[in-house]
Structure 1
């Protein structure tokens, strides 16, 4: 998880981060981006904690589970 005051999308729109977020935070909208091309790969939300969502994402990657 990266800490930042803002982030930008691929067309350089700037979005402010309004609250501090950590692994225990819940009801979060998050973006996963590619380190190579700096593009967003996925934008999602979670009602559970970021930690729980991260574990679920890793499980889906490891089992090659495809979610719509």
Structure 2
């Protein structure tokens, strides 16, 4: 988890971070950042905790699930989700 005052989605829309957020936070908008391509590859929302969402994303990457976020991380070619 990284701390920031704002983030920008792949289309260029800017989101301000208004509250303190940690892994136990729920009902939040979150961004998935890729260190390989140095960009946010996905912006989404979760009703659960950030921890639960992170575990789900990791599981989908490990099992090579047919999911755009997971595919970004388990394929050799970095691409942006549109």
TM-score bucket (shorter structure): 0.7 to 0.9
Mean Cα displacement is larger for which, 36-45 or 21-30? Answer: 36-45
Q: What stretches of structure 2 of length at least 5 have no aligned partner? A: 69-82
Q: C-alpha displacement at 1:64, in angstroms? A: 0.4
2:79 corresponding residue in structure 1: none
Q: Deviations over 1:2-39 (max 9, x none)?
A: 01222345687653210111010001111112224322
Mean Cα displacement is larger for which, 29-38 or 5-14? Answer: 5-14
Inter-CA distance 9–43: structure 2 relative to 1 (3 Å threshold): closer
Calculate the aligned-residue CA RMSD, in Å: 2.2
Task: Give the TM-score normalised by the residue count of structure 2.
Answer: 0.67
Higher fraction of helix? 2
State the alpha-carbon separation in 1 of the partners of residues 44 and 11 from structure 2: 19
Q: Secondary structure at the match of 1:20?
A: coil
Q: How many residue pairs end up in the alignment?
A: 68
Inter-CA distance 63–21: structure 2 relative to 1 (3 Å threshold): same
Inter-CA distance 11–64: structure 2 relative to 1 (3 Å threshold): closer
2:25 corresponding residue in structure 1: 25
